Structure 1
Amino acid sequence: MKRRAGRQATGTALARYQRLECTGLWRDTPEAQRREVVVRMGEATLMLTDPRSEEVLSHWSLPAVRRLNAGQRPALFGPGEDALETVEIEDEDMIAALKTVAAAVRAAKPHPGRLRGVLIGGTLTAILAVAAFVVPGVLVSHTAKAVPAAKRAEIGQRALDDITRLTGAPCDGDLGLPALASLAERVFGAENTPILYVLPEGLSRPAHLPGGLILLPKSLIDEESPDALAGAALAESVAAQGSDPLLDILDHAGLKASFDLLTSGELPADALDGYGEEFLRQLPVTVPDAEMIAAFEAAQVPLSPYARWRDPSGESVKGLIEGDPFKGLIPSPLMPDDDWIALQSVCSG
C-alpha cells in the first residue's frame, strides 16, 4: 500500500491527512462486469478512480461505507447496506482502516451524560479515528487546533501545576503582582494581554504554556531596569506564535489521551503527570532576528537589555543588538521607578 500526502483544501484541516491507496475490483451494479480501480481514502470519502486515465468513477462517504461479507476474502464493501455499487479489496491495511472507521462511527453515537460532540461532530470523530490508525501525529496536531480557548487555558493551568512541583509556586507578592500586570499591559496592550508568572527557581529561560501563560525566571527581576523582563516576555510571546505548546503537552499525554480530549472535551486526570520534568528540559524556540526586531519596534521596547541578559557576551545575540530599533536612543521608561521596585519584591512576599 502506498501513502500519498493529501492536497491542501480550503475550509478544513483534514486535507492535510495522508491518504491510503490500494487497488480493487469495482461494480457499479450487481450485473456489471468487475472493473479494476484505484481505491483512495481521502479526507471524508472513499474515491474510486480508473488506474489509467485517473478518471474519478465514484465517491463514497467514509462513514457510510459498510462491509458486506464479514469474515470472507476478498473483502466486499459498499456505500451503504442496500447500495448497488460494490468494491472488492484484498489489501489488509485498507481493510483494517475501513474497519476502524466503522468502529469509530458506532462509538460516535450519542450517549447520555457524555460530552461527545463538544469539539467536533460524530462524522469528524470517525475520520479522525482513521488518522489515529494511519498517522498519530496528525491526530495530535488536529486535536490541538480544535481545542477551544477556554479549554486551552484550563490545560495550561494544569501544566503549570505540574511544573511548580519543581520550581515552587509562582511569586505572588502583594505589591509586585499589580506592577507585573501593569508592565504586561504596557508591553502587549489592554487586549489579549498574556498572563505573566515569575517562577522562583528551576526555570532558566522564558517559556510559554497554552492559554496565554508566559513563565519568566526570577533572575530577570534582579536586573537594573524592567527592560530585560519586558523584553523576555515579549520575545516569548513572539516564539509562542510559531510554536503551539499544546502539541508538546499532547505528545506527553499520549495518543489515547489526545483522542479522549478530541471526543469528550476532557484530558484524563493523570495525563500531565510528570510533564514538569519534560518541560524544563525543552530547548528554547528559535525566532528569526528580523521577526524579533519588528515585534520590539512595534511594542516600543528596547531589545538590547533582553539580548544581553540572554547572552552577556553578546556573541550569540549580535544580530539582535545591532538591530535594536532603539540603539543609541533613550527610550521612555517602561514603568515608573516605584513600580519597578514594587515588581522586584514580587518574590519576597
Structure 2
Amino acid sequence: MTQEIHGTVAAGFETVRDEFAAFVATERSDYEGQLCVHVHGRRVVDLWAGDGADADSLYGVFSSTKGAAHLVAALLVQEGTLELDRRVTYYWPEFASEGKGALTLRELLAHRAGVVGTDSGFSRQELADDRQIAERLADQRPFWRPGTAFGYHGLVIGALSGEVVRRATGRTLQEVYEERVRALYGLDFFLGLPAAHEPRFRSTQVMEPTDRQRALLDSLPSGPHTLAAVAFNRHAAEPTDLETLPNDPLVRAKGPASVGGVASARGLAGMYAAAISEVGGRVPLLKEDTAAEFGQFHSVGYDLVARAHKSYGLGFQATADTWYPVLGVGAFGHSGAAGSQGFADPRSGVAYGYTRRRFAFPGGAGVENERFVAAVQLAAPASG
C-alpha cells in the first residue's frame, strides 16, 4: 500500500513533492522520512511520510550533527574568539603530546590531525562524552604526521573542536550551540536531547543489507587493526555498533558533537537557513566571508580512513563535490550515517534538511537525496 505524503510545498516546488512521493512509493511500507527546504530564509518544502511520524518527529542524525558543531566554530572564528591559523595548543596545551604541537586549528577542522581514535578504543560511556574523548586523544600518538594528509575523524572531530571551544570560552560546544543557535531560533535540532522531548524521538531502525549491499560491505577493507577500524571504534573491547548509537539514552542526553544530534528535517533546514539567510528578522549568523571560508575546499583527494576520494571544508563536508555536483561552489553541510542530509548553498540561498528513520547499509547520505536535491535546485531560481 502506497504511503500518504503529508505536508506542503510552495508554488513552483511541486516537482519536489512529486520526487518525494515517487521515492516513498518504491520503499518498504515501514519507511519514515522528512524533507524540508528553505530558499532565502523562506520555507518552501515541508514534507513527511510514515506511520506514526509527523513534522515534529525527531531522529538520530548521526554525522549531520557535525554541521551544528562547526557552525559554532564558525561563529567563534567570525567574532575573533578563535583563530584558524593559531596552533591548537594555544587553546589546549596538553594536545602537544606525541608530536601534535604544530597542528593548527584550521588543519584540525579539515580532518588533518591524525588522531581518528585511540590505540585501545573507547567505551560506549566515553563515546557519549566529548570531554572524555578529548582527554584520551590529547595523549594519543597520531596515526599519520599531523597536517600531511587527511582522513575522516568520524567519531571524534566534534570532541576535538569542542575541546578547543571549551578552552577558549569556558563553556562546552553544546552550551554555546544551545544559547546562540538552537534556542534563539527555536530549532528542533538538539545536541543533548532534553527529557521533555524524549517522547518525540523515533529510534533508529537497522535494515538487513540487500545482496548488493552485502557484497559491497564484504569488499571493504576489514580487520581489527585497520585505520577504519580505529576510526569507527571497531577494535575496542566493546566494539561500537554505529547503527544503533542514537538509540542509547546516554548518547541522546549528552549529544556528543560528532554523532549524537537529534533533529527533524525542519531543524536541519532551519539551522542552515539561519546560517546564510535572514530568518525572523535576524541577519544571517554567518557573514559571507565566513561562510565562504568554512565552505572552501581544505582537504580534497584520498581520504586515508574512507580509502576513497573525499572533500572537506572546515568541519563541514564540501557538499557539492562530496555528494551533489548540481550545487554551487562553496555549499557546505554534512550527511549522517542513517541517510540524513543537511546543507546550505549560499549561491542559491537553499537550506536543506532530510531525515530518515532507517539505517540502510553501507550508511551515509541516502541516495534518494540526489533526486530531491536536483529537483530543489531546478525550482529554486524561479522562486528567488
User: Which TM-score applies when normalising by structure 2?
Assistant: 0.22
Normalising by structure 1, report the TM-score: 0.23
